[in-house]
Amino acid sequence: LCMMEKFEPVLTPEELRSRLPSWPYFIIDLQLWDGHTKKEKGKLCFQVNQSYGLLKDYFTGSELAITWAGEEFRKTFNGPLDRLTVYEGPTAEFLREKKIEEVVLLDPWAEEVLSEKDFDVKAFIIGGIVDMGGEKKLTPKIGEELESAGIRVRRRKIVLRGDVIGVPDRINRILGIILKMMVEGKGMEEAVYEMQ
Ligand code: SAM
């Protein structure tokens, strides 16, 4: 008995999990799905599938969560629906279920530039938006919706030499830039060049 007392107690699964690295969620928010044409919806699905491919090279793929994923999305998407996280409800509801209170929203209209300090959040949100030219100010709406549901939102932009011009705005490219910075430890410039 005396000997036994020298050993550390066995960890509970909960304690064990807290010692393992936990990957954040990368959420593609589809709340603006209905505002897209059929062709754009097809492109959006394609970019979601590309994002899944990218993510499973780094993690498992299930860290990719698609929120506001209605029936039309599920029908149009011809990727492995069962390997990613598909959530029909609002993003804020998904976050609440996962006990996530603060997120980074990738937003080309943000004031602040994404940095290493932002890599401590448990979820990154990318707007499920396809608009060539990108002059419409749509992503901030996603931020407002989250904030009104009580989520803390850090709006962050990705820039090249101080400007969003020159940064590819496709969802999968944006995800690729974050992954190169976060997992490979690359600087923003380098990550952007590699994803162009
Ligand atoms: N005009 C749209 C808007 O208002 O944001 C452009 C949407 S862009 C095609 C799709 C998503 O990619 C955005 O919602 C955002 O999450 C992300 N994104 C694109 N360019 C970005 C940048 N320079 N910095 C941060 N996020 C960006």
Residue-wise pLDDT for 120-149, tens only, equals 999 999 999 999 777 899 999 999 999 999
108 lines ligand 1 (CB under 6 A): yes
139 lines ligand 1 (CB under 6 A): yes
Q: What gap in Å lies between CA 20 and CA 173, rounded to an integer?
A: 28
160 lines ligand 1 (CB under 6 A): no
pTM: 0.90
Q: Whose CA is nearest to atom 18 of ligand 1?
A: 169
Q: Which ipTM did the prediction report?
A: 0.99
Q: What gap in Å lies between CA 171 and CA 126, rounded to an integer?
A: 7
118 lines ligand 1 (CB under 6 A): no
153's tokens: 């939102």
Res 97 pLDDT > 80: yes
Answer with the residue of higher pLDDT: 84 or 19: 84
Task: Provide the CA 51 distance to its chain's centre, in angstroms.
Answer: 10
Which pLDDT score, from 0 to 100, does residue 79 have?
Answer: 93
Res 25 pLDDT > 80: yes
Query: Could you tell me the pLDDT band of residue 23, with boundaries at 50, 70 and 90?
Result: confident
192 lines ligand 1 (CB under 6 A): no
Q: Which residue has the tokens 């969802």?
A: 171
Which pLDDT score, from 0 to 100, does residue 17 have?
Answer: 47
If you measure from the C-alpha of residue 75 to the centroid of ligand 1, how many angstroms do you get, rounded to a whole number? 25
Contact 58, 26 (CB under 8 A): no
83 lines ligand 1 (CB under 6 A): no
Q: Whose CA is nearest to atom 13 of ligand 1?
A: 127
Q: Which residues, at least 6 apart from 29, have a Cβ–Cβ distance to it below 8 Å?
A: 67, 68, 91, 125, 126, 127, 128, 142
Res 35 pLDDT > 70: yes
106 lines ligand 1 (CB under 6 A): yes
User: Percent of the chain having pLDDT more than 90?
Assistant: 80
